[in-house]
A and B are shown apart, each in its own frame.
Chain A
Amino acid sequence: MKRPGRRRRPLLYVGAVVLVVAAAFPLFWMLSTSLKPSDEIFATPPRMIPVHPTLENFGRLFSQTSFLTYFRNSATVASMAVLLTLSVSALGAYGLTRFSFSGRDKVAGLILTTYMFAPVMIIIPFYILVKQLGIVNTHLALVLSYTTFCLPFCLWLLRAFFSSIPLELEEAALVDGAGRGRAVWHVVLPLALPGLIATAIFTFILAYNDFLFSMVLITSEELKTLPVGVNDLFNATIVDWGMIMAAGVMITAPAVLFFAAVQRYLVQGWGAGGVKG
C-alpha cells in the first residue's frame, strides 16, 4: 500500500468527501424526508435536517399498507434463496475442484456463460415452465429462479476459493482418520468462509432486489415481495412522499445492516473471485 506524500493528502481528503457525498447523500436525503412532517417535505427552501422530526410516515406505512407482509415475503424468499444457493454451489464447486474428469473445464466455462443472460431474456418460457410445474404464484418459484440466476457467479467464486485451499490440508485431515465429510466441514469450509459469505451476500442482494420475476410470477397480494409491493405504493401516491421515503428506509436498512456486518468479506471475496465475474 502506498503512503501518499504530504502534498497529496488534502487532495485525497477532498476526493474522499466528494465520494462519500455522491454515494451517501441521496440515502441521507431519503432518511431526512422520511422523518419530516408533510408541511416540511414540501417546504421551500428544503431543510437538510427535519425541524420537527416525526415517525408518522412510518406509522402510515405500517397501518395503511401491506408493507409488513411484503417485508416478510422478501425476507423469506431471500433467505431461502441464500440457503439453497450456498448448498448447491458449494457442492458443485467442490466437485469442480476436488475431482478431475474429462469435460470439467468445459462445464465450468459453460456455467459461466449462463452468467451473461439477463432474466428478461427468458422470462416468457420461464413463466410457461413454472406454470406447467404448477408452482406459479408461489415463493418456491421465486427461490428457484433466484438460485438459478445466482449459481453461475457463486459457483465460479467458490471454485476460485476452493482451489486456493491447499489439497494437502484436506488430505492431512483424511490421513488423521477423518471422513471426507468431516474433512470438508472442519477444514475446507472454514477456510472458504469469506467466499461463502460473499456468495451469500451476492445471492441475498439479487433475491432481495429482484423486480421482474416477482412481478411476473406472483399474482396474489399476500405473496408479493417488497420491490413489487412498494412500486405499487409508489404508483398509488403522489402526495405522500414521506411514506414512500419511509418505505425506502425500511427496505434499505436490513440490506445495509446485513451488508455492513459482513462487508469486509465482500471486497476480499470479490477480490479473489469477483475480478473474473
Chain B
Amino acid sequence: MRKNALAGWLLLAPSLTLLGGLVLFPIAYNAWLSLFDKHSFLPVQSFVGLRHYVYFAHDEEFWNSFRHGLVYAAATLVLQLAVGIPAALLLNEAFRGRNLLRGVVLFPYVIPTIVAIMLWKWLLNDSYGLVNHWLLAGRLIETPVAWLGKDWIMTSLVIASVWQFFPFVVVTYLARLQTIAPELYEAATVDGAGAWRRFVHVTLPQTASVLFVIVLLRSIWMFTKFDTVWLMAGDGGVSRYIRTLPVYAYARSFTYLQAGMGATLAVIMFLMLIVATAVYFRLFRHEEAFS
C-alpha cells in the first residue's frame, strides 16, 4: 500500500466527477428547485420558500401515495423473502442440475421490466389470460377476475414485482450461505440437531446480518420503484389505486408540469431515505466486522 494521495485522488477523479455532477449536484439542485413554483418546460418561475412542503403535509394525494408505497413495499418485501430464502436454501443443497437451476432462477431479475409487465398483463388478461383460464377450469372462480381493474390491480402489481425481484434475495442470501463453515453444521448434527434446528441454530444466526441488509435494501428499492408501478397502470384511470410516491413525483413533474412540486416530493423521498441509510450504515459496518 502506498502513501500517494495524489495518485489515489486522480484515479478516483472520473468516478467522483460523474457522481458529483450527475447525482449530488442534481440532489442539491432539487432542494433549490423545491423552493420555487417552476413550470416543467416553460420559463415561468417564482420563489415560494417552503410553501410546497407545507402543502404536501396536508395533501391527501401525498398521503395516499405514501400509503400505497408502504403497502406495496411491505407486501412485496415479505413475499420476496418468503419465496427467496427457501429458494436459496434449496440451491445451497447438492443435487444434479443445481447450477442450471441457479441460472434459471435469475431469469426474472435479468429480463427488462417492460417484458415482465407485458408478460404478466398477458397472463392476467381477463378474457384470454392463462390465470383466469386455470382458475375457471379448477372451479376456483365462477366469473373471470378483472385482475387489472380496481380491486385487483394492487395484487397483480405485487405478484409481478415479487416474481421480478425475488431472485435478488436468492442470490444475495445464497452468497452468504455458501460461506458458512460446514464444521458448524457437522457440530450441530453430532449434537443431534435435525434440519429445522440446524436452520434455526446455525443458518439463521449466521445469516442474520445479511438478512437485515436484504430487508433494508429491498424495502428502500421497492419504496422508490418507479417503472414497474408506472408500467402496470400507465395512463389508466385505475392508476389511482396503485399510485405510489415515485409515480406521484413523476406526475407532478411531467403531467401536472410543476417541476418545483415534483422536486419537493423528490426531496421528501430523499429525506426518508437518509434516515433509512443511516440505519443501514450502522448495520453495514457491523456486517463487515462480522465477515
Q: How far is the CB of A216 from chain B (nearest CB, A)?
A: 7
Q: Contact between B254 and A211 (Cβ–Cβ < 8 Å)?
A: no
Contact (A251, B110) CB under 8 Å given A26-B120, A92-B15, A144-B18: no
Partner of A101, one of B5, B93, B114, B171: B5
Q: Contact between A100 and B18 (Cβ–Cβ < 8 Å)?
A: no
Would you call A148 an interface residue if the criterion is a C-beta within 8 Å of the partner chain's C-beta atoms?
yes
Contact (A121, B266) CB under 8 Å given A255-B111, A274-B172: yes
Chain A residues lying within 8 Å of B72, measured Cβ to Cβ, are: none
Would you call A169 an interface residue if the criterion is a C-beta within 8 Å of the partner chain's C-beta atoms?
no
Partner of B2, one of A23, A92, A100, A264: A100
A256, B178: Cα distance in complex, Å = 25
Per the 8 Å Cβ criterion, residues 110-161 of B in contact with A are 110-115, 118-123, 125, 128, 130, 133, 137
Contact with B along A53-93 (1 / 0, CB 8 A): 00000000000000000000000000000000001110110
- Closest chain B residue to A9 by CB distance? B95
Contact with A along B177-218 (1 / 0, CB 8 A): 011001001000000000100000000000000100100010
Q: Contact between A116 and B273 (Cβ–Cβ < 8 Å)?
A: yes
Chain A residues lying within 8 Å of B110, measured Cβ to Cβ, are: 205, 255-256, 259
A2, B195: Cα distance in complex, Å = 11
Would you call B58 an interface residue if the criterion is a C-beta within 8 Å of the partner chain's C-beta atoms?
no
Q: Contact between B284 and A15 (Cβ–Cβ < 8 Å)?
A: no
Q: How far is the CB of B269 from chain A (nearest CB, A)?
A: 5
Contact (A46, B133) CB under 8 Å given A111-B19, A209-B112: yes
Contact with A along B5-33 (1 / 0, CB 8 A): 10111111011101101111111011001
Q: Contact between B15 and A241 (Cβ–Cβ < 8 Å)?
A: no
Contact with B along A16-42 (1 / 0, CB 8 A): 100110111011011001000000011
Contact with A along B208-240 (1 / 0, CB 8 A): 001001000100110011110011001000000
Q: Among the interface residues B33, B120, B277, which one has the most CB atoms of the partner chain A within 10 A? A: B277
Chain B residues lying within 8 Å of A192, measured Cβ to Cβ, are: none
Q: List 14 A-B contacts (CB under 8 A).
A: A2-B93, A12-B93, A19-B87, A95-B10, A99-B2, A100-B3, A109-B281, A117-B273, A118-B269, A122-B266, A124-B40, A125-B33, A126-B26, A148-B23
Residues of A within 8 A of B (CB): 1-4, 8-9, 12-13, 15-16, 19-20, 22-24, 26-27, 29-30, 33, 41-42, 44-46, 87-89, 91-92, 94-96, 98-102, 104, 107, 109, 111-114, 116-126, 128-129, 144-145, 147-149, 151-152, 155, 167, 205, 208-209, 211-212, 216, 226-227, 230-231, 234-235, 241, 244-245, 247-248, 251-252, 255-256, 259-260, 263-264, 266-267, 270-272, 274-277
Known contacts A29-B130, A125-B33, A256-B111; 6 further A-B pairs (Cβ under 8 A):
A26-B163, A101-B9, A102-B5, A111-B15, A244-B118, A276-B284
Residues of B within 8 A of A (CB): 1-5, 7-12, 14-16, 18-19, 21-27, 29-30, 33, 40, 83, 86-87, 90, 92-95, 97, 99, 101-115, 118-123, 125, 128, 130, 133, 137, 163, 167, 171-172, 174-176, 178-179, 182, 185, 195, 210, 213, 217, 220-221, 224-227, 230-231, 234, 246, 249-250, 253-254, 259, 262-263, 266, 269-270, 273, 276-277, 280-281, 284, 287-288, 291
